[in-house]
Structures are given as structure tokens and as C-alpha cells.
Chains A and B, each alone.
Chain A
Amino acid sequence: MDANVCVVHALDLGVHAKTRIHDFDCRPVRCLVSGCQRDKIRIGTYQKTKKHTYNCLAERIEELAQKCHLKNYWYAMSSLFKIGEKNLDKLFEILEIFPDNYSAEEVAIAAEFFKARGNDVRTFTDPNKPKVPESHDLELLVSSHNLWQGVTHIVSEDAHFVGNAQEIPSWGYKVAIIPMDKLNELEIFWRWT
């Protein structure tokens, strides 16, 4: 799971001022985690991703707090962050934390693939999105490739991964991308619920 998917798992922040504050993708991500646990499928994230997750959490909570029009905005933000932080702590007790396993050279090669052969991932919300992912995403890709002999699945909503889901294996990476918004469909197929 990448950092944003971990964050989404944490985004059921309870009912406040008669509003349930949650991300709609939270349920399928939670189903995925509990389904994998039940079926003894290894599920986890990387050491570096874990650290990055807490920084991503604040951004997502800010979006939610704005959407919900909560009173005392700053208080709401900081309190919801504390709840989210606790949820993330609980998640990381469940997830396996895989070792970061990449070299600078491998990351540079991955960047080159995206630059030379990657799809244009500019979006409506971010028309200036660069073609090459941020370094922590490249490190995640390389670490996943190096994790074991078989194929590693990355659950992500990042446009670079989702937009190049078909291409990434063809570049020689033993990695399959599961877009977060497809988890609902997979849930029915794999009967996670």
C-alpha cells in the first residue's frame, strides 16, 4: 500500500456535529486489509512510506474538514489529525513493514522509464503534473520489484502508477498496480467482505 492508501484507511474519523467524517474509499481499503489478514496474504508498506504517510494525512484531513464545513476550523483540523494519527498507528500495527530496498541507480533507471515511455498523466485537477513520479514513489516501485521473486501488487491512487499500470510490467518490473478506485470491484471478485 502506498502512503495515500494508508491514509485513506485511517480516514474514518467518527461523527462530529452530526456529520460522519470519512473518505468514501476508506471502507474498501479496510476490507482489503482485513480480507488479506483473514486469507493470510502478506500486506504491508515500506519503512519510508510509513514516515511519509503522516505528512500526507494532514493534507487529506484539510480537504475533508473544508468539505464538511466544520465550525472552529483550526480546532477541527488539529483534533481530526490526532484521531487520524491514532488510526494510522493502529494500521501500522497490523501491516507488515517491508524494508526499503533500492539503490540510487535503480531509482534513476525507473525515472528514465517514466520519462521516455510513460503516459501523460496530467489531470484536470493538476494540469502541470510532471511525467516522472516523486522520488518516494520511484523508491516504492523499486523496493516492490526487489521484494521477492514473484509479483508484488501496489495499491495506489497515484496517477503515475494508475496511468501506467499496463506499461510498468512491460518495463521489466515484477509489479502489478491495483488502482484504489477498483478495490470495490475486486472486493466482490475476491470476496473480502
Chain B
Amino acid sequence: MLLESPDKARAWGVLFALSLRGDGVISGRVTLNKTLALLQRDGFPIENRFITKEKGPYDWHIHQDAKNLEEKKLLEITEKPTRHKSPITIYQLSEDGLSEVQEKYPARIESLPYKRIFKAKLEEIKNRFSEYSTPEIVDKVHQELLMDMEEEDARREMDDLVTDLMVARDTAETDRDSTCFICLNLLGSLDFAAESLKLAIKKTEGTNESSRNLIYFNAKDVLHWANKFPRHEHLRYCREGEGPLAAPREQLGYRLFCTEGLSSHYHILKPIRDEASLDEYIQIMSA
């Protein structure tokens, strides 16, 4: 591996983000920050710790990591003059960077859990960047993460979601059949999403850490998928991704996986996971 620890786990994200663009080019620090934040939000093990700056997710390490990658000849950074005061930073994958990505990353995506959904998310992120202009993308990300709201309004929105998740969990508990595995998936996901968001709100109070916003987005999607099977046919053991309601169960599992990843990364709530598989996952992505 061309990159040395401890930055390598974080730096892989920059290469990966660039590889999502057909031409391997990202224009502007803002766009690079947004891409990495979107990847982290959607469950990829992006090791940055985002803070909310100018109503958007930001990590100053990103540009520094890109510079380190430039030293390793994996990408090129140029400054392009603009009509505004400051020039725009252009990040471009080099040939070495491109072959690094092409050689390693497809196999890594294949080895992810929920790989079908991960692949779809990648397409979604790629399309977003090809279909919309940078200001439109910025607006959309800020809206989805409640970053464009006044603090008081955002807080109310998040508190309301915690309440909705708890109500949904209590309803699922009442309707539960003790032998039904869908009930167990549902209850587990709602329980973790509610607790995780509640703690994230509390722990980030008075700080500008973006964890609560990223967790909010995932918790909202957990509730969305949970609402797809409120009164389902109870089912004895059936593997995730198989049998009735396979698609919503898989989506719910995926969103729980993303919420767990964020909660763990930002030290909000420690997920219960097979530690070996979690380490394996991070190693696969950053090796």
C-alpha cells in the first residue's frame, strides 16, 4: 500500500470519491467535502469526523489528505482562477491513483455486506453529481441533513423523530409475535435508531459536530422502512434478503448498519456487532 498509517484509512476515501466521477476530477473543496460526507452518511467507512461549517459538513483533514496523496503521485491538485477573490481547487486522479482504485476497489465493494444496496447508493451519488450543479447539490445535502435550519427548528425536528421512532417501537412491541423474525428486526432497528439519535442530540449539544445530522438522516430512513411493514404476516426464521418482505427487511438492515457505523465512529453508542467482522470490514476498505 502506498499510503502510511494513520492517515491511510482516511485517505482512501478521497481516492474513492474521485473515482466516482467519470473523469476523476472534483472541482472545489466544498464538493469533495460533500461527497465524502454523503459516502459516510450512506455507510461507507469514511474515517473523517465532520463538523458543521457554513451550514455544511466539513473536515479540514480532507485537503491535507489530498495533499499527502499528491505527494504519493496518486492525485494532482491545481488551483484554477475564478471571477471571485479565491481560486477553486481542482482534485484530479492521476494514472497511478486510477489504477490503484480500479485494481482494488471493485473487489472491496463486492465484499461489503448489503453490497447490492451499496452499489445502488454509489450510482445515486454519481448521478447526483452528474445531474445537478454544485450549488444544487450543496442545497440538497444541507436540506437532507437539516443543516440549513435554525438550531431551534432543527432540534425540534430531531426530537420529533426520536418520539416517532419510540412510538413506532412501542407499537411494534405490542403487535409482536415472539417467534417472528420480522418483528425482531423491526424492534431492534427502531430501538437503536431512537437511542442513537437521542444520545447524539445530547452529546453534540453546544458543539458543531455533524454526527447528529448524519444519524438523523439514517434514523429517518429506518422509520421510513419500518413503516413498510407495520402489520405484517408473522414469520418464523427466514434469512435477511429472502422470503416475504425481503426488500424492505434488507433496506432496514442496511440503514441500521449505517446508523451503527456512525454511532460507533462518533462515539455516540457502541453497536453490538461481531467485532471480528467489523474490523474485517474496515480493513477491507482501507487496506
* Residues of A bordering B, CB below 8 Å: 14, 16-17, 51, 54-55, 57-58, 62, 72-83, 86
A74 near B173: Cβ-Cβ < 8 Å: yes
- 6 closest Cβ pairs, A-B complex: A78-B188, A74-B187, A79-B272, A74-B191, A54-B237, A75-B191
The CA-CA distance from A17 to B271 in the complex, in Å, is: 10
Among listed B70-78, B145-153, B177-185, interface-contacting one: B177-185
Q: Determine which of B173, B184, B192, B271 lies in contact with A58 in the assembled complex, contact meaning CB atoms within 8 Å.
A: B184
A55 near B187: Cβ-Cβ < 8 Å: no
Given contacts A58-B181, A58-B237, contact A74 B274 (CB under 8 A): no
B184 near A77: Cβ-Cβ < 8 Å: yes
Q: Determine which of A14, A16, A51, A78 lies in contact with B184 in the assembled complex, contact meaning CB atoms within 8 Å.
A: A78
Q: Is B174 an interface residue (CB 8 A)?
A: no
B271 near A74: Cβ-Cβ < 8 Å: no
The CA-CA distance from A14 to B156 in the complex, in Å, is: 37
Closest chain B residue, CB of each to CB of A16: B272
Closest chain A residue, CB of each to CB of B269: A72
Please report the number of residue pairs spanning A and B whose Cβ atoms sit closer than 8 angstroms. Answer: 57
Residues of A within 8 A of B59 (CB): none
Q: Determine which of B169, B236, B270, B273 lies in contact with A74 in the assembled complex, contact meaning CB atoms within 8 Å.
A: B169
Closest chain A residue, CB of each to CB of B275: A14
A72 near B192: Cβ-Cβ < 8 Å: yes
Q: Determine which of A17, A51, A77, A83 lies in contact with B188 in the assembled complex, contact meaning CB atoms within 8 Å.
A: A77
**9 pairs, CB–CB < 8 Å, chain A vs chain B:** A55-B236, A58-B181, A58-B237, A62-B178, A75-B189, A76-B272, A78-B191, A79-B272, A86-B274
A79 near B179: Cβ-Cβ < 8 Å: no
